[in-house]
Chains A and B, each alone.
Chain A
Amino acid sequence: DTAVSQTPKYLVTQMGNDKSIKCEQNLGHDTMYWYKQDSKKFLKIMFSYNNKELIINETVPNRFSPKSPDKAHLNLHINSLELGDSAVYFCASSSFDGSNYGYTFGSGTRLTVV
C-alpha cells in the first residue's frame, strides 16, 4: 500500500481552468505539506497543515487553496491556471517522535498548463 498517494500523476490543462490535486496518507502522520518543484529542480514549500489546521502558508498566489477535510488528506485546488503554474507538485507527510523524523513524499503530480 502506498504511504502517501497523490492523484492524478499527470495533469494537462488549458490556461484559465480550475483543477484539483488530491493527496492521502495512511501513515497516521499529523502534518502534511505541499511542495512545488520548479524548473531548476528546487523543492519549495507551499503549505503545511497540522491536524487539519494551516500552519505554514508561504507566499503563493491566492489562486492556490489547500483543503484538509481530515488529517489524512490534504488537497490542493488551483483556480485560473497560468502557464507559470506548470511544475511538479509533491505532497508529503511527517511525524516526529522527539528524536527521529519520519518524512514521506508522494510520487508527484506533473502539471502542464497549455
Chain B
Amino acid sequence: DQQVKQNSPSLSVQEGRISILNCDYTNSMFDYFLWYKKYPAEGPTFLISISSIKDKNEDGRFTVFLNKSAKHLSLHIVPSQPGDSAVYFCAASAHPGNQFYFGTGTSLTVIP
C-alpha cells in the first residue's frame, strides 16, 4: 500500500526549460515533505523540504509547491541543467522524527 506516489517514471526536458516533477499522497496526516535526487550508485541527496504551514518553498533554482487539499506537491527546477539529470524522490511524514514514506521516483533527463 503505497502512500506516496510519483506517477511519472520518467521526464525529459530541454536545457534551460522548466522541469516539473509531481507527487501525490494519500495520508491526510502527512505534514512534512521532502524532495531528494539520486545519482546511480550513490545515496539520495536532500534537495528541499516543505511543511504544511507553507504552500511554497524556494531554494535557488528549486521550488516546491504544496497543495494540501489536493494532497499534491510538485518540484520545479528552473532553469534545468544537464547536471540535474537524476532520479528524484518525494517523501512525506506525519511528524518530524517519524519515518518518511518515499515515492518510487521520477527519472529526469535534461537534454543539452
Q: Are A42's CB and B32's CB within 8 A?
A: no
Q: Of A45, A90, A104, which contacts B99 at CB under 8 A?
A: A45
Which chain B residue has the least Cβ–Cβ distance from A42? B104
Report the number of A-B residue pairs with Cβ-Cβ less than 8 Å.
54
Q: Are A33's CB and B42's CB within 8 A?
A: no
Number of interface residues of A (CB under 8 A): 28
Q: Which residues of B contact A94 (CB under 8 A)?
A: 97
Q: Are B96's CB and A96's CB within 8 A?
A: yes
A96–B45 alpha-carbon span in the complex (Å): 17
Which chain B residue has the least Cβ–Cβ distance from A105? B43
Given contacts A43-B102, A99-B51, A103-B34, contact A108 B96 (CB under 8 A): no
**B residues with CB within 8 A of A:** 2, 32, 34, 36, 41-46, 49, 51, 87, 89, 91, 96-100, 102, 104-105
